């Protein structure tokens, strides 16, 4: 979640930078100990890994192959782009991601509210998520999936919002079945692209990502708003 002060934004950028540098350090260390090319356990389920990533990680991380645009945690394409370009293979990247999942912690003691929680996924689920991320993160020329509003909502918003039609139960942000009822497409579009314009009573500003107006095209934004209007009985 975002800090409502300007200083909080700067602090979050520093924390994200440290997180990416930490990933780079672990990538290098993993290569040194010779894990590159190891493919020893059971074959990962990439479809399941993609589903789990979009449900549990996509609201915080950008990953082009998954179509996610979260800006709370590190951009995973950026984090692994240089490592992959330098010859790092997907098995090694998978090991790095598994390590990050298993050792989730804040980059600073005061930042526990903006970092990945412990045990977000475990066991085979963690392995599948790590394998999926390793299969797409930083891959040159990879494209986002075809835009579909229900999938985009579930991936990028469902972790924070409740929406009955989508089957999501997030509580960080308002319950959209109540908050969006009776709103026009234009009003819903504004709530997505400029979430601080109107703050729902009981919630703080700067909690919702501020970049959807840049990452969504106008047509995509309108399609998402129409989906939400329909889903909430508008």
Query: pLDDT below 50 — which residues of the chain?
Result: 1-8, 15, 29-37
pLDDT of residue 113: 57
Boundary residue ending a domain (136, 163, 197): 136
| H helix runs in the chain, sequence order | 6-32, 46-56, 76-85, 90-102, 123-136, 149-156, 176-179, 185-193, 212-215, 218-231
User: Can you give the CATH number for the domain in which 197 is found?
Assistant: 1.10.760.10
On whether both 130 and 29 belong to a single domain, the answer is yes
End-to-end CA distance of the chain: 29
Boundary residue ending a domain (82, 105, 136): 136
Rounded distance between C-alpha atoms, residue 125 and residue 144, angstroms: 23
The structure's pTM equals: 0.58
Domain that holds residue 180: 149-231
Domain assignment present for residue 23? The answer is: yes
On whether both 27 and 118 belong to a single domain, the answer is yes
Rounded distance between C-alpha atoms, residue 2 and residue 113, angstroms: 9
Boundary residue ending a domain (109, 136, 163): 136
On whether both 72 and 123 belong to a single domain, the answer is yes
On whether both 22 and 132 belong to a single domain, the answer is yes
pLDDT of residue 71: 79
pLDDT of residue 156: 83
Domain assignment present for residue 1? The answer is: no
Domain assignment present for residue 200? The answer is: yes
pLDDT of residue 218: 92
pLDDT of residue 3: 44
In this structure, the number of other CB atoms found within 10 A of the CB of residue 115 comes to: 18
At 152-176, the pLDDT tens digits run: 898 789 889 999 999 999 999 999 9
Domain count, the chain: 2
pLDDT of residue 59: 78
């Amino acid at each position: 979640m975002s800090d409502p002060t300007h200083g909080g934004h700067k602090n979050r950028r520093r924390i994200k930078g440290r997180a990416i540098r930490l990933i780079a350090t672990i990538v290098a260390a993993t290569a040194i100990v010779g894990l590159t090319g190891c493919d020893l356990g059971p074959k990962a389920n990439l479809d399941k890994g993609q589903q789990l990533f979009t449900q549990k990680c996509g609201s915080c991380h950008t990953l082009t192959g998954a179509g996610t645009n979260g800006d709370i945690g590190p951009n995973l394409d950026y984090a692994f782009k240089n490592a992959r370009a330098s010859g790092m293979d997907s098995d090694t990247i998978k090991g790095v991601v598994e390590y990050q999942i298993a050792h989730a912690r804040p980059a600073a003691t005061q930042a526990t509210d903006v970092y990945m929680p412990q045990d977000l996924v475990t066991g085979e689920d963690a392995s599948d998520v790590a394998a999926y991320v390793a299969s797409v993160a930083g891959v040159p020329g990879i494209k986002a999936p075809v835009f579909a509003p229900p999938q985009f909502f579930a991936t990028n918003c469902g972790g924070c919002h409740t929406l009955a039609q989508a089957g999501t139960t997030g509580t960080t942000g308002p319950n959209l079945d109540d908050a969006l009822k009776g709103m026009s497409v234009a009003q819903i579009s504004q709530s997505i692209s400029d979430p601080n314009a109107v703050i729902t009573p009981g919630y703080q500003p700067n909690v919702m990502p501020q970049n959807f107006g840049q990452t969504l095209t106008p047509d995509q934004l309108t399609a998402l708003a129409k989906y939400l209007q329909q889903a909430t009985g508008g």
